[in-house]
Structure 1
Amino acid sequence: MTTVKEREVIQEKFKQQMNEDELLNCMRCGFCLPSCPTYIESGYQESHSPRGRIALMKAVVDGIIEPDEDVERSLELCLGCRACEPVCPSGVKYGHLLEEARDIIQQNKKHSLPVRAIRNVVFKGMFPHQNRMRAATSLLGVYQRSGLQKVVRKTGMLKVLPDHLATMEKVLPNVPTLKQMKNRPTYLQAQGTQKKRVAFFSGCLMDTMFMGTNDATTKLLQLAGCEIIIPKTQACCGALHGHSGEKAQAKELAKRNIDAFEKENIDYIITNAGGCGGFLIDYDHLLKDDPQWAYRAKAFVAKLKDISSILVELEFHKQLLQLPNQVITYQDSCHLQNVMRTSGEPRQLLRAIEGVQFTEMKDADRCCGSAGIYNIVESDMSMQILDHKMEQAKATHATTIATANPGCLLQMKLGIEREGLSDSIRAVHIVDLLIEAYEYRQKKA
C-alpha cells in the first residue's frame, strides 16, 4: 500500500514522464476490447482493458484521480501481450505506456523488506549475470538427476505448493549439467554453401534451461547456409526488467547487448524466443532519449530477425521435411506476433512438413497466460486464460502443439498436464520440431 507522500511523488512523475501525446492518441474507439484477454476474462471490466488502463493513466496525469491501489492493480493485471496494438486504428504504442507507468510506480513506492530482497536477487543479482544463471539452473539439474526429484514426488512434498506450481514442476525440461552450460560455442560454420553471416542471440534461460532448443536453432541455421557468430559478452535481453518496472536495469542490459553485437560484421541478429525478440526490437524506443545510444540502438534493431523468418527467407521450408502422421497446431507467441509482427513464417514452415496435417487453432494469437512470470504472480487469471486456450487447442484434435517462446511452451505443457492429456498431446518449440522433421527424413532417405 502506498502512502500519501508516495502517491504525490508518483503523480508528479506521471506528469513529467508519461507521453501525453501517446495517451491522447487513444480515441476510445474500443477496437482493442475483443483482443484483450484480461478484459474478456474479467467479465468485461473497462478498467482491465487497454482503453480503460490508458484512461486511468491519463486521469493520473491530469490530477483527476490518485495513483492508488486500484490503478496499480489494473496495471499489474495486464499481461503486456500487446494484442491491442495491431488492431488499434491510431497506432497507440500501449506497451510503451504500460512499461513507463509500471516503472514510475515501482521506482517511487516503498516495498516491504521481503519484496525488496526478491527483486534485488532476481533483477540485479541473477538475470544480468549469465554465470549465476548457469549456477542456479544447474541446481535444478542436480535435483532432477540425483534422485531427489523422485523422492519429493513420491512423498507428496509438492502438495505444499499451489496446484499450478506443483504441476509446473512436472513439465520443466531436463536441465544440462553446469559443465555443458559453460561449454558453449562462439562460432559455427555454415553447412554447404554459405548464404548469410549471422549472430545468434542465445539469451539467458534459453542457453541454460532450454539449451537443447538453442542447439537445434544453430543447427537449423547451419543447414540453411548461415555462418554463425555467438558473442560471449551478450547478456539477458532485459524483458523481465522492462516489464516489471526496472527500466534503468533494462537500459544497461540493452547497452551491453548492442555493444556485443555491433562489433560483428553480420547480416542479421537471430532470435528464437518471441519474448526476447519482442523486447530487443524495442531497444530503439528504450534508448531514444540517450544521444550516445539512440543511433546504435536503431542499427541493432534493423538487423533483428526471428529464426522462422530467416529460415523462410533462405527457403529452408523447401528442403525435405517429414514426420510420422500427426496433427499439428500452432500457438502464437504474443510478442513475436504483436511486436515483431511475425506470424506467417512459422505456419509456412509447419505446413511444409510432409506427413502432417496442420490445423489452425481458433484464437491462436490470443495470449496463453504465461507472460513472463505472470503465471506465477497472477496465477488465478493466468489459469483462467489457459483453460480457455486449452479448449481451443483440444478442438483442433492436434497431437502436437508448436510454439515459439519458452514461456508459452511451458504454459502449454502445463495446460496439457492439467487436462490429463500428456499421453496424447505434446507441446514443442518449433525449432525442435523442425529438427525432428529434418532428421526423420534423413533416416528415411
Structure 2
Amino acid sequence: MRQSEQLTTRMTDKLDYEELLGCMRCGFCLPTCPTYIRSKDETASPRGRIAIMKGVVDGLIEPDAGVEKTLNECLGCLACEPACPAGVRYSVLLEDARAAITEHKRATGQMDIRERVIRKVVFDGLFMNKANMETATGFLRFYQQSGVQTLTRKLHILDWFPDQLQKMEAILPPVPPKTERRRRPERLKATGQPTARVAFFSGCLMDTMFYETNANTMKLLQAAGCDIVIPDTQQCCGALHGHAGEQAGAVRLAKQNIEAFEALDVDYVITNAGGCGAFLLGYDHLLKQDPAWLARAERFKAKVKDFASILIEVGFLDRVTLTLPKQVITYQDSCHLRNVQQGALAPRLLLQAIQGTTYVEQRHADHCCGSAGVYNLLQPIIANDILEMKMGHVRDTAAQTIVTSNPGCHLQMQLGIQEHGTDSMRAVHLADLLAEALPNT
C-alpha cells in the first residue's frame, strides 16, 4: 500500500464521517474565520478545510504536503462553531485530522529528525512533566535576573534568532522565584460566608510564568466566598498536545487530570485560561473509545467553569466594590472562552462594574488575535497580519488597558502594543486587573 493510501486509511479511521457530512457548505462560517478574512481563499475557510478532509477520506484528494499546510494554517479559534447552523464540531475534525497526519508521519519515517527532536523535547520532556517545566522556568528566571538577559541584548546575540522569537523574548513576564511558588498551601479558606467549594486548575504555564495571575485568581475566588482546593497531582491540560496532533499525549494528561480531581468533594473545577478550560471540556471526545473513561470524563466536564463566570454566579459583585484610577478599558475575547465555554458575558460584567473606569467595547473583539497557542511562532506572517488588524480596532477605542482571559492572548496583545500600540497602553489578564481593583489591595 502506498504511503498516501496509508494516510487516507488512517484519516478514514480517525475522522467522524457523519460530522464531515454535517457541513452544508452554507458559508455562515466565512465571515467569522480570520484566515479566510485575510486571504479570501476557500481553502483557508472552515468549510474549505472540511471539504479537503472529506475529499481525502473519499479518495478524491491526495493527502500531500499541501493538505497538511492548509490544516496547519488554521488558528483553531473555533469562531466557526457558534456560527454554524448545522452544529458541525469542526474542532474535533481538525484535531483528529492533525493527529492522523502526525501519527502517519511518525510511523512511516516521514517526520524529519529536527521535528522528531522538537516534539520529543517539548511534548514528552516539558509539558508532560511538571518537574521539567519547573526546571525550565527556573532557567528562564536565571536568564532574567542574573544579568544574562541584559548582556545578551547588549551584545545583540538575539540577532541570530528568528525575528518572532526576538519579539517574544522581549515581552516575557518576569518569572517569580520557585520558593514563592512552593509556599502556596493546597487548601485556601473563603473570606466571609462560604458560597461554594471549588478546585482550582492551576495549569502549567499559568502556574509558572503567570503564577501571579493564578495567585490573584484565587484571591478573587476567596473574596467571592469560595473554599479552594489545589490538587498537587494535576498536570498540563494537554491542549498543546491535542492541537499539534499529539493525541496520545493529550489522552495521558486527560486521564491524569481526571484522576486528580474526581475524588474531590467540590462544586466546580475552576480555570482562568480560556484555552485550558476549553480543552478540559473536550476530554469526553479524547476518551470516547473507552466507555469507562468516557463516563468519568463527562462527570469531570460537568464541573469545569471559568473563574469569571463563577464570580458572577456566586454574587462577587454584591460582596465587594471594585475601584481603579480613571482609565479606558477594552476587552479582547479569548477565542476558546467565548466559542467553546460560552464565556463572553461574565468578563464584561466584571469590567463594567469597576468604578472610576470607562469600558469601551472593541470592534471585532470576538475575532482571534493571532496567538492561538504557539501559532504565532509557527505561522508568524499570518499571525502578525491578524494582530495588525486587531490593533487597529484596539486603537479605535482609545483604551489604555487591554484586558484578556488567556496567557497566549495576553502575550500577543503585549506584542501588539510593542509593534502597533502607544506608550500609554498596557495588556493585563482579567484576574490581575480585578485584583488591582479590590479594596485594601
Do the two structures share a fold, i.e. TM-score over 0.5?
yes
Structure 1 residue 220 displacement after superposition: 0.5
2:402 is paired with a residue of what secondary structure?
A: strand
Structure 1 residue 176 displacement after superposition: 1.3
Structure 1 residue 185 displacement after superposition: 2.3
Structure 1 residue 377 displacement after superposition: 0.6
State how many pairs are aligned: 436
Q: Please tell me whether the aligned partners of residues 135 and 178 of structure 1 are also in contact (alpha carbons under 8 angstroms).
A: no
Partner of 2:390: 389
> CA separation in 2, counterparts of 1:275 and 1:399?
25
* Cα offsets for 1:56-105 (capped at 9, x unmatched): 00000110011111111100100000000000000000000000000000
> CA separation in 1, counterparts of 2:70 and 2:425?
35
Partner of 2:2: 5
Partner of 1:358: 359
What is the one-letter code of the residue matched to 2:90? Y
Aligned equivalent of 1:71, options 67, 77, 88: 67
* Structure 2 counterparts to residues 74-223 of structure 1, below 5 A: 74-109=70-105, 110-223=110-223
Q: Please tell me whether the aligned partners of residues 391 and 421 of structure 2 are also in contact (alpha carbons under 8 angstroms).
A: no
> CA separation in 2, counterparts of 1:6 and 1:219?
54
* Cα offsets for 1:81-131 (capped at 9, x unmatched): 000000000000000000000000000012111110110111111101111
> CA separation in 2, counterparts of 1:28 and 1:419?
36
* Structure 2 counterparts to residues 231-246 of structure 1, below 5 A: 231-246=231-246
Q: Using structure 1 for the length normalisation, give the TM-score.
A: 0.96
Q: In the alignment, does 2:55 pair up with 1:62?
A: no
* Cα offsets for 1:170-211 (capped at 9, x unmatched): 211100123333333211111111111000000000000000
Aligned equivalent of 1:53, options 39, 49, 55: 49
Partner of 2:440: 442
Aligned equivalent of 1:25, options 22, 25, 42: 22
> CA separation in 1, counterparts of 2:178 and 2:55?
50
Q: Please tell me whether the aligned partners of residues 35 and 84 of structure 1 are also in contact (alpha carbons under 8 angstroms).
A: yes
Structure 1 residue 293 displacement after superposition: 0.4
Q: What residue ranges of structure 1 are gaps of 5+ in the alignment? A: none
> CA separation in 2, counterparts of 1:420 and 1:342?
27
2:24 is paired with a residue of what secondary structure?
A: coil
> CA separation in 2, counterparts of 1:265 and 1:257?
15
> CA separation in 2, counterparts of 1:380 and 1:400?
26
What is the one-letter code of the residue matched to 2:440? Q
Structure 1 residue 420 displacement after superposition: 5.1
Q: Please tell me whether the aligned partners of residues 237 and 253 of structure 2 are also in contact (alpha carbons under 8 angstroms).
A: yes
> CA separation in 2, counterparts of 1:230 and 1:182?
12
What is the one-letter code of the residue matched to 1:96? V
* Cα offsets for 1:213-264 (capped at 9, x unmatched): 0000111011100100000110000000000001111011000000000010
Q: Please tell me whether the aligned partners of residues 269 and 304 of structure 1 are also in contact (alpha carbons under 8 angstroms).
A: yes
1:135 is paired with a residue of what secondary structure?
A: helix
Partner of 1:317: 317
Return 408-417 or 13-22, whichever deviates more.
Answer: 13-22
* Structure 2 counterparts to residues 285-364 of structure 1, below 5 A: 285-318=285-318, 319-364=320-365
* Cα offsets for 1:261-299 (capped at 9, x unmatched): 001000000000001001001111211221120111000
> CA separation in 1, counterparts of 2:99 and 2:12?
14
Structure 1 residue 6 displacement after superposition: 2.6
Structure 1 residue 314 displacement after superposition: 1.4
> CA separation in 1, counterparts of 2:404 and 2:323?
18
What is the one-letter code of the residue matched to 1:41? R
Structure 1 residue 442 displacement after superposition: 2.8
> CA separation in 2, counterparts of 1:104 and 1:163?
31
Q: Please tell me whether the aligned partners of residues 401 and 425 of structure 2 are also in contact (alpha carbons under 8 angstroms).
A: yes
What is the one-letter code of the residue matched to 1:38? T
1:292 is paired with a residue of what secondary structure?
A: helix
Aligned equivalent of 1:38, options 35, 38, 42: 35
Q: Please tell me whether the aligned partners of residues 213 and 431 of structure 1 are also in contact (alpha carbons under 8 angstroms).
A: yes
Q: Please tell me whether the aligned partners of residues 328 and 398 of structure 1 are also in contact (alpha carbons under 8 angstroms).
A: yes
Structure 1 residue 133 displacement after superposition: 0.2
> CA separation in 2, counterparts of 1:402 and 1:433?
8
Structure 1 residue 156 displacement after superposition: 2.0
Partner of 1:261: 261
Q: Please tell me whether the aligned partners of residues 85 and 338 of structure 1 are also in contact (alpha carbons under 8 angstroms).
A: yes
What is the one-letter code of the residue matched to 1:83? A
Structure 1 residue 7 displacement after superposition: 1.6
Q: Please tell me whether the aligned partners of residues 200 and 229 of structure 1 are also in contact (alpha carbons under 8 angstroms).
A: yes
What is the one-letter code of the residue matched to 1:13? R
Structure 1 residue 321 displacement after superposition: 0.4
> CA separation in 1, counterparts of 2:98 and 2:326?
47
* Cα offsets for 1:35-70 (capped at 9, x unmatched): 00011112x100010000000000001100111111
Partner of 1:249: 249
Partner of 1:280: 280
> CA separation in 1, counterparts of 2:325 and 2:149?
33
Q: Please tell me whether the aligned partners of residues 395 and 421 of structure 2 are also in contact (alpha carbons under 8 angstroms).
A: no
Q: Please tell me whether the aligned partners of residues 85 and 91 of structure 1 are also in contact (alpha carbons under 8 angstroms).
A: yes
What is the one-letter code of the residue matched to 1:163? D
Q: Please tell me whether the aligned partners of residues 271 and 304 of structure 2 are also in contact (alpha carbons under 8 angstroms).
A: yes
